Structure formats: C-alpha cells, structure tokens
Amino acid sequence: MTYADTLFKENIENILTNGVFSEQARPKYKDGKTANSKYITGNFATYDLEKGQFPITSLRPIPIKSAIKELLWIYQDQTSSLKVLKEKYGVNYWDEWEVGTTGTIGQRYGATVKKYDIITKLLAGLEKNPWNRRNIINLWQYEDFEATKGLLPCAFQTMFEVRRGESGALYLDATLIQRSNDMLVAHHINAMQYVALQLMIAKHFSWQVGKFFYFINNLHIYDNQFEQAQELLHRTPSKKEPRLILNVPDGTNFFDIKAEDFELVDYEPVRPQLKFDLAI
C-alpha cells in the first residue's frame, strides 16, 4: 500500500472513531439541510516526493487533470472568472459557488493572486536569493473578503524553501496550509494541485522537487458521506506507486507550462467512482 493510501485509511478511521461533530456548520446540502461533519483538528503529513511518495489515493479515481487546470486558472490566469474556468479548461465544479450573477467566485483565489501580483513577487524573490526564507503565497486577505461575497479560501497559504541535497542538486520543498478540508472529495485534489505548483516553480528554476508538507486545521467527513467512507475502507488499494511528472525542459517559464505537460504515471485507481452530494 502506498504511503498516501495508508494515511487516507488512517484518517478515515480516525475521524469516524475519534472525530467530533460540528454544531453550527455553514454549508447546506441541495435539499436545504445543514451539512454537519465529523472532524479532527491539526492534521499534518510529510510526503517525500524525491523518494516517490505522492499525495494521491488509489481508492477512487481523483480528477487530476481538472485539479491541475483549476490550479493554472488561479496562478497563471489569475482570475476568479467561472467563464475562463469553463471555456478555457472545461472545468465546471466551482459553478455552485458563483457570487450572485457576477460570473465569478468573487474577489478570491486568482483575483487575489492578481491584485497583489503574488507570483511575480514570489518568483522574483526566489530568483534574487533562493535562501531568502520569505517565499509565501497568502490568499487570506481581509481587504478582499470585504470587497465581495464568496467562499473564503480553504487552501490559503503556501510556503517554499530551497535546500541543497546530498547529490549537490537544489531541491524545492513546499508547505500547504489549509483551514478546512472535505477529505473524501478534495484532500488529494488539493494536495496534488500544490505538488503541481511546486513542480512548476522547480522547473522554472531548474531545481528538483523535494518534500511536500501538508497541514489541515479542520479535516472532515460530511454526515452524508459515511457510506462512501466505509466503502473506501473496504477497498483494496492498487500496488502501483503513482508519480506526477512535468514533461518540460528545465528552465521552462512558469507561465508557459500547460495542463497537457503533466502526466500521472502508474495510476490505477479502484473503480467504480463514488458519488458525492456536495455541501455548498
């Protein structure tokens, strides 16, 4: 069993056994009922990408291409327009979170990246001095929250660090900090998106990817997902060790990387796909 599958099964067991219930949850299901969840706090994992530990489960198919396209929408297109997400990338899983009839998810995510010109600043900082210890993307901006309505960012902060490995090559480590995670739906979507971002920045500078650190403050399973949770526990994972590869030459500019350049190899997820009635 891969490290990711071991952790996923452990987290499901842990939430079902030791988790506590939310009491005044914000989201609702489609039928209007409050979407409460069972949760644990302060979940942390380290994946050594260099050693082939990737944060993806084989217990159900993860929509990896959509996840990477959503990431490019945020950090390359730098917009929160649902039209761009749909027409350029064919991804519509954010539609339920449109703010009014604006055609956007509000002044959030990509719109925040653009407003503060975060990627330019991050890349310039790493270029000037890779050891600067200030490589932070922070989407938690109160000014933006006051500007429009909209879901507040869940995966809201990323940090990068550079270190020289034993081989003499430079490695880029990344830390993703997430305040809230719908584990069965989005845990591996979020983790793999940010591994993709780490790969993009590493390629831009001709570095290798090292470790991926993933911290989640509230890791939950919604109360309409317990059956799917049991199903996942009963499934036998694939023995393959999937890896995400970015097929571009070293030094390729961050903004020239495309979704098609990513390849997830040795991924043989268990089917059938599970259905979820999302908390909105």
Ligand X SMILES: Nc1nc(=O)c2c([nH]1)NC[C@@H]1CN(c3ccc(C(=O)N[C@@H](CCC(=O)O)C(=O)O)cc3)CN21
The long-range contacts involving 87-96, CB below 8 angstroms and separated by at least 24 positions, are: 89/259, 91/66, 93/66, 94/70, 96/278, 96/280
Amino acid at position 223, single letter: D
Distance CA(85)–CA(77), nearest Å, equals: 9
Task: Tell me the CA distances in angstroms from 230 to 13, 36, 222, one per residue in order.
Answer: 9, 18, 13
Report in angstroms how near the CB of residue 101 gets to ligand LAUPNLSC at its nearest. Answer: 21
> At its nearest, how many Å lie between ligand LAUPNLSC and the CB of residue 181?
4
- Give the CB-nearest residue to ligand LAUPNLSC: 180
Q: Which of 97, 116, 205, 215 binds ligand X (CB under 6 A)?
A: 97
Cα(59)–Cα(1) distance, rounded to whole angstroms?
11
- Cβ distance to ligand LAUPNLSC smaller for residue 126 or 196: 196
DSSP for 127-154, written as a single string: HH-TT-S-EEEE---HHHHHHS--PPPS
Interface with ligand X, residue 151, by CB under 6 A: yes
> If binding is defined by CB under 6 A, does position 66 make contact with ligand X?
yes
Q: Measured at CB, which residue is nearest to ligand X?
A: 186
- Take residue 253 and report the two structure tokens written for it: 């500019």
> Which helix (H) or strand (E) element contains residue 201?
helix 183-204
Least CB distance to ligand X at residue 97 (A): 5
Binding-site member from 174, 185, 201, 221 for ligand X (CB under 6 A): 185
Residue 183 beta carbon to ligand LAUPNLSC: minimum distance, rounded to whole angstroms: 8
Q: CA separation (Å) from 66 to 23, 63, 141?
A: 32, 6, 26
With respect to ligand X, which residue has the nearer C-beta, 122 or 184?
184
Residue 106 is a catalytic residue: no
Q: Is 80 annotated as a binding residue?
A: no
Beta carbons within 8 Å of 98's beta carbon, 6+ residues apart:
82, 104, 105
Q: Which residues bind ligand X (CB under 6 A)?
A: 27, 63, 66, 93-94, 97, 151, 182, 185-186, 189, 273, 278-279
Annotated binding site for dUMP: 133-134, 179-182, 190, 220-222
Annotated binding site: 133-134, 179-182, 190, 220-222, 279
Q: Give the residue numbers marked as catalytic.
A: 154
